[in-house]
């Protein structure tokens, strides 16, 4: 199936990870994406370089210059020159893992400073058609995953122009008619219990499904049915007032017409931080009901954002999930950053409970790491 789209828009450049080796290196040294970039094939992408370092190797993520594959990088700076910026052009649309490796000789020892970016490039003007993946034939079975919880599972990370046109290979989602369709953000758009459409943005399902599909080669079918602000009473299987649990089960059963349920991701708790003394007992009953209705599959929970110190005891309680629920695990939110609000002067709002765009993607990848180990032995 093809959807004609004349792409003249900006797209997404998401900083998935920025790991910095430490210390004696110039603390001012950093590389950032230029805000004027248009992430379109055939147009240069500019990286701004702050501070100074002796040498820099560049890996574009293309075949032959792939850092993860052990390829050789391209020298873009040595000790004899000073570099304020660097431009590179990708001529083919796609997603690229970009790495800058900076080195500096300090005290007779070479110190290394690694910066990683994930760049998604849209088709250029000459590529008028963006190919939307075909929906597999009914006999092609999907690996189904249920993603439920409150707003951080629904996704509140920033959406950029073009995000709704990014289709990851082998990733599908159950739509409002109960049919698999190619998945595009926001993934919670088909939730039958969601809040307003404009509140649905980037959640962990994006990074999760992409990583699982790439690692396994399997076709992934997501059932995303989250609700911002929801608490454990509203998710209770015995609730007569709320149908959140019933809807999750109903929609998952629709998805099971196309494949097999492999796991459940649960990100919830902001509304129940003060009830950590009863939360695990409730969660045990909740999982038991899910497994009675849908089958015994791995269950993974996620920590709340650690920047709000008062949630740390709740997170510690979540760490005990493996002691109480068989075939369960938890993912860390370490390093997560909250979104920027209108009142936070361009800085992350430490009072906000929601992970920003980059943190959501990383969180999703951490969920994927657990599922790959529990479901696929990877």
The mean pLDDT values, 10 residues at a time, for the chain of 378 residues are: 35 32 54 85 91 92 83 90 92 82 87 85 62 65 96 90 84 92 90 83 95 96 95 94 96 96 97 96 97 97 96 98 98 93 80 92 97 96
CB 88 within 8 A of CB 45: yes
Spell out the domains of the chain, with CATH numbers in brackets. 2-129 (2.60.40.10), 135-376 (3.40.50.1110)
Please choose, from the candidates 166, 260, 256, 269, the residue with its C-alpha nearest in 3D space to the C-alpha of residue 226.
Answer: 269
Q: Where are the beta strands (DSSP E) in the chain?
A: 2-4, 13-14, 30-33, 44-50, 55-59, 74-77, 85-89, 94-106, 109-121, 129-131, 142-149, 171-174, 180-182, 220-224, 259-267, 299-302, 328-331
Phi/psi for 248 (5° steps) reads -60, -45
DSSP H helices in 257-299: 276-294
Q: 3-state class of 208 per DSSP?
A: helix
**What pTM value is reported for the model?**
0.66
CA distances, 152 to each of 130, 253, 266, 335, 367 (Å): 30, 24, 10, 15, 13
Amino acid 316: pLDDT: 98
Q: At what angle do helices 244-255 and 276-294 cross, to 10 degrees?
A: 30
Query: What is the torsional sign of CA 294, 295, 300, 301?
Result: positive
Residue entry with tokens 């454990």: 232
Phi/psi for 216 (5° steps) reads -110, -25
Amino acid 1: pLDDT: 41
Query: What is the torsional sign of CA 114, 115, 120, 123?
Result: negative
Give the integer Cα–Cα distance in Å for 126 and 41. Answer: 9
Amino acid 177: pLDDT: 85
- Our measurement of the distance from residue 97's CA atom to the centroid of its chain's CA atoms, rounded to an integer in Å, reads 15
């Amino acid at each position: 199936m093809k959807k004609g789209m004349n792409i003249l828009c900006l797209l997404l450049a998401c900083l998935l990870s920025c790991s910095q080796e430490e210390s004696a290196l110039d603390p001012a040294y950093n590389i950032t994406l230029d805000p004027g970039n248009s992430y379109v094939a055939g147009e240069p992408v500019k990286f701004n370089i702050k501070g100074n370092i002796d040498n820099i190797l560049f890996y574009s993520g293309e075949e032959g210059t792939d850092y993860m594959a052990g390829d050789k990088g391209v020298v873009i700076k040595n000790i004899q020159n000073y570099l304020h910026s660097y431009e590179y052009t990708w001529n083919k649309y796609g997603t690229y893992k970009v790495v800058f490796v900076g080195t500096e000789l300090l005290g007779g020892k070479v110190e290394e400073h690694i910066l990683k970016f994930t760049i998604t490039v849209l088709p250029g003007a000459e590529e008028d058609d963006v190919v939307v993946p075909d929906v597999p034939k009914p006999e092609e079975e999907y690996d189904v995953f249920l993603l439920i919880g409150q707003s951080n599972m629904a996704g509140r990370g920033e959406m950029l122009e073009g995000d709704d046109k990014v289709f990851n290979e082998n990733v599908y989602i159950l739509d409002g008619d109960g049919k698999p369709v190619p998945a595009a953000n926001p993934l919670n758009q088909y939730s039958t219990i969601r809040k307003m459409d404009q509140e649905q943005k980037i959640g962990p399902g994006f990074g999760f499904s992409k990583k699982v599909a790439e690692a396994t080669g399997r076709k992934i079918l997501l059932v995303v049915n989250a609700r911002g602000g929801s608490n454990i009473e509203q998710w209770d299987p015995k609730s007569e007032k709320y149908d959140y649990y019933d809807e999750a089960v109903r929609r998952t059963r629709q998805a099971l017409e196309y494949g097999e349920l492999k796991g459940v991701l649960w990100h919830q708790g902001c509304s129940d931080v003060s009830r950590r003394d009863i939360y695990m007992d409730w969660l045990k009953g909740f999982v038991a009901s899910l497994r009675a209705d849908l089958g015994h599959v791995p269950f993974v929970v996620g920590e709340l954002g650690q920047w709000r110190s008062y949630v740390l005891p709740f997170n510690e309680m979540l760490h005990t999930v493996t002691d109480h629920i068989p075939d369960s695990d938890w993912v860390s939110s370490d390093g997560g950053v909250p979104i920027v609000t209108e009142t936070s002067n361009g800085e992350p709002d430490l009072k906000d409970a929601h992970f920003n765009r980059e943190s959501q993607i990383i969180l999703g990848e951490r969920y994927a790491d657990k599922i790959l180990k529990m479901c696929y032995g990877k």
